Amino acid sequence: MHRFWSLLFAAVNLSCLGMLVVAYARPELGWWLPEAASTQAPKIDGLFYLISVLCGLFFVLTQGILIVAIWKFPSTTPGTAKPIHGSLGLEIGWTLAPVAGLLVITGASLPVWKDTKYQGLQANFPIANAEPAPAADQVILVTARQWDWHLRYATAPLQAEGIREWAEEGTPSDLMVADELHVWKGAKVTLLLRTTDVIHSFFIPVLRLKQDTLPGKTIPMRFEASVSNVRFDPSQGRLVSGENNSSWEIACAELCGGNHYRMRGKLFVHPDRKSYEAWLNHAQRQARSRTLATSSPSSSMQKDASKP
Amino acid sequence: MPNTLFRKAKHAPLPGQTSLVFSRNGRLSSQTFWVIAFAFLGTCSCADREGYPEDLSYPARTDLIVEESPKLTPNNPPPPGGLEKSITKLSEVGGKILDPAKFPEPTKTELIKLLDEQFGTPAQPKIGSPNAELGDLVTKLKLDPVTLAQGSISYRRNCLHCHGLAGDGKGSSGLWVSPAPRDFRHGRFKFISTSPARNLNRPRREDILRTLRMGLHGTSMPAFGIYPDQELEALTSYVIHLSIRGEIEYTVQKTLLKPNSQLANLFENFLPDEEVSKPQENLSYFVPKYIKEIVGQYNTAETQILAPPEYPYKDSELADSIKRGHRLFSSQASDALGCVSCHIDYGRQSPWQYDEWGSLNRPSNLTAGIYKGGRRPIDLFWRVKRGIPPSKMPAVTLTGDEEAKKVWDLINFIEAMPYPAKLPEEVRNSVYGASGRIASAASPH
């Protein structure tokens, strides 16, 4: 190969490295990880950084060897190469080093996996000698369908044993909302994920929460939001910006048909329970509307009505 | 990677010469090929913000017109993708269909020309100009070209694939969903809140907005509530535009395809108050006049809202209200409304019936708690009090002093039906049997 390739690889690698630096230094570009808004997020981000650094070291090493090798020995070099026939030391080395790296990654991942995925299961599948699932401040049934999200909020507090029955039957006081997830900062939320048709995936980037919804299953997930972005102003009857001006997205992360890419929702984290309950009251009044005056819900419920 | 492109290089390299761009046999070198390939990929543009192509026009209607749906109640709906075929067979089961392919020639071209003139193209939609004399109704009802153009871009991104280019419900996705997406071309909508007085079957803008915001639960129509108000208003305007355009075409074809029909029939049936002289009996006189008539009806509909009576009950009176509602729902009592005669077994064994578009519907399973037109009490009020005209759900007529109480009794019963625990005991036994068996998650339609 010509030295052209060495230059090309070096140029591509350097520009990627440059973009990485820019992405990390300028978070407002949105190229790097979104902000971390849940108690779980730093742990998952930690895994991401660990894996990036480990793999990055190997990447730099291998690319460096490749670039230098092509530069020093382009195909115009006279003579033929002399192959070597095995080197036990090298082979052991480059087997054991990645194994060690993988073991480190596994060791770091397992506790995070347990925290993320296994907490909520105790509510539905009691495991002998397991700790009982802690009570949730909020229980929300999320039903995915092509192509929106329907959320059913339990408005009365639920005990862990009663969650399954509530999921199956519902109660008349439940609030049904499309495409909007409202929680408050510090609330322990249990989500029950379902789908009415095909496989979708409930994904909230800022919470680092992602779980496929499978037909026939109700899958529990738990999280606790640690940053708030809106609050509800009862005097205006709408959401206004809170301590943080962000618009947080719920996305579908499993291809589910033509409008999969448009299957979006919004996450609203209220600063405290009071703001959440003010919103809840307002939404329930809309949902119980018996008069013309309250019958026309507009998207003044949204934080910023001019952005989709 | 096989390099079969660019077989002949312009300048064959001299023997022994190495070139960055050309390899030894004169072909473009693989590295140059890849650099060019990546450069090309980088120029891909994002088509999401574009509207329809400027040269696209609405096609003439070619699919069959259902003049009259069969009265039969069939056992099963057609298989997925089978709606079109089932409509071709409707005449075998007592329905009447008309074929636009038989539409006589000079009229056919004249109609399309008039429609293009009055309604524009998908990229540049408009209503009723020239000469429909709509005046400021166009601005008042938000049917001006600017709003319609915005609506057209949104429609193409969000709605086209199910509802189709002309709003026929036969988009590429629409063929496969059940119930089928709404065919706007009849000018009729199911979930409306306008008063049945004067036979006004038009929706208000608010009805279409409600459908857009909340979706239709139990169908494939998603909720678009997180979109900004302005976009939803533009979409509503564009849907009304498609509906009016489709309705004109449908009306003309339906009338003139009948045997022995003439242009005079159009005026007699649809513009009975219009004084028409012989030379005026033609399409270019009819179309603008009828557009004005329809737009006038939409304008009237905005004020003919079916207002619910005030809710008369306290929480403690709810159980008795539900009992009375249950009696009204049944067919035994003397003042019963007989809802159960269509919503057989409270909707769990409802028969399939044809609607005016020739597709099949069932009276809904009210024990499932899935309400297409909305689950708020006021939505249920509108379904009950207005009925669902195109699907033949009758409007409930309740008169007199008792009306306020009776209608809310019925709605309280409907709301409680999915929750056995909420029903008073004898009502629960009647709806769910003595075992109190929970309703299964039945098919939503």
Q: What are the mean pLDDT values of chain B's consecutive 10-residue runs (445 residues total)?
A: 49 54 67 76 65 93 92 85 90 91 89 94 87 82 94 94 94 89 94 83 93 92 92 97 95 91 87 82 89 92 90 92 93 84 93 91 92 93 92 84 87 94 91 65 36
Say how many C-beta atoms besides its own lie within 10 A of residue B343's C-beta.
Answer: 22
Same structural domain for residues B277 and B355?
no
B444 in any annotated domain: no
What is chain B's Cα-based Rg? 28
pLDDT at B43: 66
Rg, C-alpha atoms of chain A: 26
Asked if A262 is an interface residue toward chain B (Cβ–Cβ < 8 A), one would say yes
Mark which of B301, B330, B355 sits at the end of a domain: B301
Report the C-alpha dihedral over residues B202, B222, A142, B363, rounded to 10 degrees: 50
CB contact under 8 A, B229 and A299: yes
Nearest Cα of chain A lies from the Cα of B215 at a distance, in angstroms, of: 8
Please answer yes or no on whether B376 and A287 come within 8 Å at the CB atom: yes
B105 lies in some domain: yes
Cβ atoms of A209 and A230 closer than 8 Å: no
Mean pLDDT, residues A60-87 taken together: 88
Contact status, residue B205 vs residue B108, Cβ threshold 8 Å: no
Q: How many CB atoms lie within 10 A of CB B130?
A: 9
Query: Cβ A148–B222 below 8 Å, yes or no?
Result: yes
Record: contact B438-A169, CB cut-off 8 A:
yes
Domain count, chain B: 3
pLDDT at residue B72 in the model: 83
SS3 B172: coil
Q: If you measure CA to CA, which chain B residue comes closest to A170?
A: B419
Contacts of B209 in chain A (CB under 8 A): 296
Q: Cβ of B226 and A180 within 8 Å? A: yes
Is the CB of A295 less than 8 angstroms away from the CB of B232?
A: no
Are the Cβ atoms of A295 and B378 closer than 8 angstroms?
yes
| Helix B318-329, helix B425-432: angle, nearest 10 | 40
Of A76, A178, A307, the CB nearest to B215: A178
* Range B202-220 burial, b when 16+ CB lie within 10 A, else e: bbbbbbbbbbbbbbbbbbb
- The answer to whether the CB atoms of A305 and B161 lie below 8 A apart is no
A157 touches chain B (CB under 8 A): no
- B35 and B110: one domain? no
Per DSSP, B360 falls in state E
Q: Which of B319, B417, B378, B372 is nearest to B181 (CA)?
A: B372
Q: B128's torsion region: left (phi>0), alpha (psi -120 to 50) or beta?
A: left
Of A171, A179, A287, the CB nearest to B419: A171
Domain's final residue, options B28, B44, B60:
B44
Identify the bridge partners of residue B361 per DSSP, sorted by sequence position. B353
pLDDT of residue B379: 94
Chain B positions in Cβ-Cβ contact with residue A292 (cut-off 8 Å)? 305, 307-308, 378
Decide: helix, strand or coil at residue B353.
strand
Q: Where are the alpha helices (DSSP H) in B127-228?
A: 137-140, 145-158, 160-163, 205-214
Does B143 lie in the same domain as B272? Answer: yes
Percent of chain A with pLDDT over 70: 91
Confidence tier at A181 by pLDDT (50, 70, 90): very high
How many residues appear in chain B?
445
- Contact status of A302 with chain B (Cβ, < 8 Å): yes
CB B6 within 8 A of CB B28: yes
Same domain assignment for residues B138 and B261: yes
> For A305, which of B209, B224, B229 is closest by C-beta distance?
B229
Q: Which residues pair with A152 in a beta bridge?
A: A141, A176
Which of helix, strand or coil describes residue B97? strand
Residue B220: list chain A partners with CB under 8 A.
146
Binary contact (A288, B418; C-beta < 8 A): no
Answer yes or no: do B234 and B131 share one domain: yes
The reply to whether residue B222 touches residue A259, judged by beta carbons under 8 angstroms, is: yes
8 Å CB contact of B226 and A305: no
Contacts of A265 in chain B (CB under 8 A): 226
**CATH number of the domain that residue B373 is part of:** 1.10.760
The verdict on B23 and B126 lying in the same domain is: no
User: Over chain A, what is the mean pLDDT?
Assistant: 86
Q: Look at A5 and B31 and tell me if their CB atoms are within 8 Å.
A: yes
Minimal Cα distance from B367: which residue of A? A169
Task: Please check whether residue A297 touches B, CB under 8 A.
Answer: yes
Three-state SS for chain A is: CCHHHHHHHHHHHHHHHHHHHHHHHCHHHCCCCCCCCECCHHHHHHHHHHHHHHHHHHHHHHHHHHHHHHHHCCCCCCCCCCCCCCCHHHHHHHHHHHHHHHHHHHHHHHHHHHHHHHCCHHHHCCCCCCCCCCCCCEEEEEEEECCEEEEEECCCCCCHHHHHHHHHHCCCCCEEEECEEEEECCCEEEEEEEECCCCEEEEEHHHCEEEEECCCCCEEEEEEECCCCEEEECCCCEEEECCCCCCEEEEECCCCCCCHHHCCEEEEEECCHHHHHHHHHHHHHHHCCCCCCCCCCCHHHCCCCCCC
**Does A305 contact B223 at a Cβ distance shorter than 8 Å?**
no
CATH fourth-level superfamily of A133-289: Cupredoxins -  blue copper proteins (2.60.40.420)
Structural domain harbouring B423: 315-432
Whether chain A has a CB inside 8 Å of the CB on B226: the answer is yes
Domain shared by B195 and B319, yes or no: no
H or E stretch including B96? strand B96-98
* Residue in B257, B258, B263, B260 with CA at minimum distance from that of residue B290: B263
Determine, for residues A295 and B158 on separate chains, whether the beta-carbon distance falls below 8 Å.
no
Predicted pLDDT at B435: 65
B269 shares its domain with B323? no
Condensed to tens digits (0 to 9), the pLDDT of residues A95-138 reads 999 899 999 999 999 989 888 887 655 545 555 555 556 678 89
pLDDT of residue A133: 63
The pLDDT, as a whole number, for residue A144 is 94
Let me know whether B242 and B321 are in one domain.
no
**CB contact (8 A) between residue B422 and residue A299:** no
Instruction: Report the residue of A168, A266, A299 to disrupt the B interface, i.e. the one with the largest count of B CBs within 10 Å.
Output: A299
In a domain, B306, yes or no: no
Per-residue model confidence (pLDDT) at position A68? 94
Q: Which of residues 53-82 of A touch B (CB under 8 A)?
A: 76
Is the pLDDT at A9 greater than 80, yes or no?
A: yes
* Measured distance CA(B290)–CA(B312) in Å, rounded: 43
* Domain co-membership, B175 together with B268: yes
**Kind and range of the H or E run holding B98:** strand B96-98
Tell me, yes or no, whether B293 and B213 share the same domain. Answer: yes
CB atoms within 10 A of CB A179: 21
Give the A:B interface size as CB pairs under 8 Å: 105
Contacts of A263 in chain B (CB under 8 A): 222
Residue B437 resides in a domain: no
Residue-wise pLDDT tens digits, A241-275: 877 778 899 999 999 988 898 899 999 999 999 99
CA distance A94 to chain B (A): 30
Quote the CA–CA distance of A282 and B306 in Å, as a whole number: 24
Q: Is residue B56 part of a domain?
A: no
Q: Which residue of A has its CA nearest to B375?
A: A287
> Is A127 an 8 Å CB contact of chain B?
no
CB–CB contact A292 B378 (8 Å): yes
Across the interface, whether the CB atoms of A179 and B20 are under 8 A apart is answered no
Q: Is residue B87 part of a domain?
A: no
Q: What is the ipTM of this complex?
A: 0.81
Q: Do A291 and B158 touch (CB under 8 A)?
A: no
Same domain, B294 and B331: no
Q: Is the pLDDT of residue A204 over 70?
A: yes
In a domain, B273, yes or no: yes
Q: Rounding to the nearest 10 degrees, give the CA dihedral for residues B385, B390, B393, B395.
A: 30
Q: Does A178 contact B220 at a Cβ distance shorter than 8 Å?
A: no
Which residues of A fall within a CB distance of 8 Å from B225?
A: 178-180, 297, 299, 301
A146 with B419: Cβ contact below 8 A: no
Query: How many angstroms away from the CA of B376 is the closest CA of chain A?
Result: 5
Looking at the complex, report in whole angstroms how far the Cα of residue B368 sits from the nearest Cα belonging to chain A. Answer: 10
- Which one of B225, B230, B232 has the shortest CB-CB distance to A178? B225
Q: Is B173 on the interface with A (CB under 8 A)?
A: yes
Verify whether the Cβ–Cβ distance B375 to A296 is below 8 Å: no
